[in-house]
């Protein structure tokens, strides 16, 4: 059996070998086809791989570049923004520093200017008031700076001999904060050249640190013997070592007046007054002399003295005693004036005793809540002979600010007659019923 199986296997092998010998091309063809197919497949796969991968890589690279560029752009934007912000902050700080520096510099200039005015202006104003004022200016208060750009009012006290004015005639001031105040300063020479306040206009001529100054006042046109003249009042001032004016010489400088009332050629100076002043150690006036010269019609005739008055002042606390002496003599004013002030330096009483002992009069002063005079009481020979009542109108739109009513007293010390000095109307009191009639 086994022998038959072995023979059968040998026969099958022989048949396959013979078939291979007789069909070699088929084996080669199969082999070549197989190799071709494999080669084409490999080439196709290679080509396919070579075609797809570069596209994928390019998109990926572009995406990466876009992301990188976006990041770089964002970083540049942020960096530029930070730099711009830093530059803006630096510029803002520099601008603010410059603004503050300029502001401080301007404030310093203003403060320096105000400080200069605080020191220089009161000296000139005090001298000017003593030159133009008929009342006796006994003292003036210091000017102080409000904030750093304003001056307080220039306040001064006078010994008024005619007590009939409203408000407080012994207490006066020059407001230095009004809108119409104009002060011109020569910053190079450090002097004040002009001062304007309402209708008042003063020009100053002097050198810094000098004890001599000249004041030129507002000019005017006058007529003498049918000839027009251009008159300019001029005051020559001399200061003492404490910068208080001790000598004032007042002149009128006359010029030709043109047809258009303009200033023409200079003609002559006409002396008007000479004032001599002395002071206590605290600056209060102690001696005051006024020499008045007669008016003259031309510059040919020499100036002649017409009148001379000397005031010798003593004081005790708030009480001032003034000895007045006139040349030629004046029995109505030669004598002793006594002024008594309260703690607020408001006048309480003024008393006059004549040098010939024939005249004496006393004026009592009553004040209202505003420290303004509400009533003057005039006493003569020991009896109140009349009073002056002052009513103030606080309405800002009122046609008048105050009105005065004079009351006349008789020997029984009762007022039977009143006169309104503003309206001119008067009224009487019945002596039996003491009732007043209507104002007529």
Mean pLDDT calculated for residue range 320-327: 93
Q: What is the DSSP letter of 177?
A: S
DSSP classification of residue 152: -
190-199, 232-241, 290-299: segment of lowest average pLDDT: 290-299
- Write down the pLDDT at residue 290: 94
Name the token pair of 43.
Answer: 């080439």
CA dihedral 381, 383, 385, 391 (to 10 degrees): 120
The full length of the chain comes to 440
DSSP-assigned states of every residue in 41-83? HHHHHHHHHHHHHHHHHHHHHHHHHHHHHHHHHHHHHHHHHHH
Name, of 76-80, 136-140, 272-276, 357-361, the range with top average pLDDT.
272-276
Which tokens is 246 given? 């001790």
State whether residue 97 is helix, strand or coil.
helix
Tens-digit pLDDT profile for residues 102-123: 777 777 777 777 788 888 888 9
pLDDT at 5 over 70: no
pLDDT bucket at 307, cuts 50 / 70 / 90: very high
CB neighbour class for 143 (10 Å; exposed up to 12, middle 13-18, buried from 19):
buried
Token pair 């200016």 is at which residue? 137
**Are 408 and 385 spatial neighbours (Cβ–Cβ below 8 Å)?**
yes
Average pLDDT, the chain: 82
Q: Is 298 helix (H, G, I), strand (E, B) or coil?
A: coil
Taking 80 as the threshold, does the pLDDT of residue 394 lie above it? yes
What is the structure's pLDDT at 26?
44
Roughly what angle, to the nearest 10 degrees, separates helices 24-132 and 2-22? Answer: 70
Q: CB burial class (10 A; 0-12, 13-18, 19+) of residue 362?
A: middle
Q: How far is CA 400 from CA 107, 390, 404, in A?
A: 42, 12, 11
Tell me how far the alpha carbon of residue 184 is from its chain's centroid: 14
The per-residue pLDDT for 338 is 93
In angstroms, rounded to a whole number, what is the distance separating the alpha carbons of residues 322 and 340? 12
DSSP structure class, residue 142: P
Confidence at residue 143, expressed as pLDDT on a 0 to 100 scale: 82
Burial class (CB in 10 A: 0-12, 13-18, 19+), 237: buried
Residue 8 predicted with pLDDT over 60 = no
Q: How confident is the model at residue 350 (pLDDT cuts 50, 70, 90)?
A: very high
* pLDDT, position 42: 44
For 20, list phi and psi in degrees, rounded to 5: -70, -35
């Amino acid at each position: 059996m086994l022998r038959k199986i072995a023979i059968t296997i040998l026969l099958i092998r022989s048949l396959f070998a013979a078939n291979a010998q007789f069909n070699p091309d088929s084996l080669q063809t199969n082999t070549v086809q197989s190799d071709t197919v494999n080669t084409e497949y490999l080439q196709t796969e290679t080509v396919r791989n070579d075609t797809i991968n570069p596209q994928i890589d390019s998109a990926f690279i572009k995406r990466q570049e876009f992301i990188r560029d976006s990041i770089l752009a964002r970083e540049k934007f942020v960096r530029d923004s930070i730099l711009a912000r830093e530059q803006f902050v630096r510029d803002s700080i520099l601008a603010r520093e410059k603004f503050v520096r300029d502001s401080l510099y301007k404030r310093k200039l203003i403060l320096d200017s105000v400080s200069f005015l605080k020191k220089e202006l009161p000296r000139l104003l005090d001298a000017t008031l003593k030159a133009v004022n008929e009342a006796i200016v006994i003292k003036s208060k210091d000017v102080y700076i409000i904030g750093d750009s304003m001056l307080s009012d220039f306040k001064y006290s006078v010994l008024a001999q005619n007590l009939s004015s409203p408000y407080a005639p012994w207490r006066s001031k020059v407001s230095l904060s009004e809108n119409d105040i104009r002060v011109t300063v020569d910053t190079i020479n450090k002097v004040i050249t002009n001062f304007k306040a309402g209708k008042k206009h003063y020009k100053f001529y002097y050198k810094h640190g000098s004890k001599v100054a000249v004041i030129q006042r507002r000019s005017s046109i006058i007529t003498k013997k049918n000839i027009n003249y251009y008159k300019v009042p001029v005051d020559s001032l001399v200061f003492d070592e404490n910068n208080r004016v001790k000598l004032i010489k007042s002149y009128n400088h006359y010029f030709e007046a043109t047809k258009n009332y303009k200033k023409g050629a200079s003609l002559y100076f006409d002396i008007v007054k000479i004032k001599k002043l002395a002071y206590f150690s605290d600056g209060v006036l102690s001696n005051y002399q006024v020499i008045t010269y007669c008016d003259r019609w031309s510059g040919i005739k020499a100036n002649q003295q017409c009148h001379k008055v000397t005031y010798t002042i003593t004081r005790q606390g708030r009480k001032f005693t003034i000895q007045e002496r006139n040349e030629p003599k004046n029995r109505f004013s030669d004598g002793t004036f006594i002024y008594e002030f309260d703690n607020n330096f408001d006048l309480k009483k003024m008393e006059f005793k004549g040098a010939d002992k024939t005249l004496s009069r006393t004026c009592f002063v009553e004040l209202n809540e505003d420290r303004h005079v509400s009533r003057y009481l005039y006493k003569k020979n020991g009896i109140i002979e009349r009073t002056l009542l002052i009513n103030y109108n606080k309405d800002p739109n009122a046609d008048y600010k105050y009105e005065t009513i004079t009351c006349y007293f008789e020997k029984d010390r009762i007022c039977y007659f009143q006169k309104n000095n503003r309206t001119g109307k008067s009224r009487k009191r019945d002596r039996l019923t003491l009732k007043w009639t209507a104002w007529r």
